[in-house]
Amino acid sequence: MTKRQLQQPARKAYPVLLQVCRSNQTISGDDIVNALISNGYPNEDVYKYTGPLIRIAQAENLITKTEKCVTSKRNRSSLQRVWKSLIWRGEQQ
């Protein structure tokens, strides 16, 4: 973890990141955006936090890169990396 990542304003959304990683086997930026919105983060913060949260999750070994990409639900012209959660809790009964 770099000093910059530790001081990142997006760190305050870290609990939301953990929630997404624990509840989804694979995640994309859209999943993080949806979780931030549903947790009441303002739109201007949601889009600023998404990229840094993914970098933080990768640095802390919460997620790992896959070879798969999906079309963004927010911007259909761009592809998003699909990440595998390393802390996924499995299917909850």
Strand partners, 69: 81
CA distances from 10 to 22, 25, 46 (A): 18, 22, 9
pTM: 0.84
Q: What does the pLDDT profile of the chain (93 residues) look like in tens digits?
A: 666 656 678 889 999 999 999 999 999 999 999 999 999 999 989 989 999 999 999 999 999 999 999 998 887 778 999 999 999 987 654
Radius of gyration from C-alpha coordinates of the chain: 13
Q: Residue ranges of the domains in the chain?
A: 3-85
Give the burial class of 56: count Cβ atoms within 10 A of its Cβ; 0-12 exposed, 13-18 middle, 19 or more buried. buried
Distance between alpha carbon 26 and the CA centroid of its chain, in Å?
10
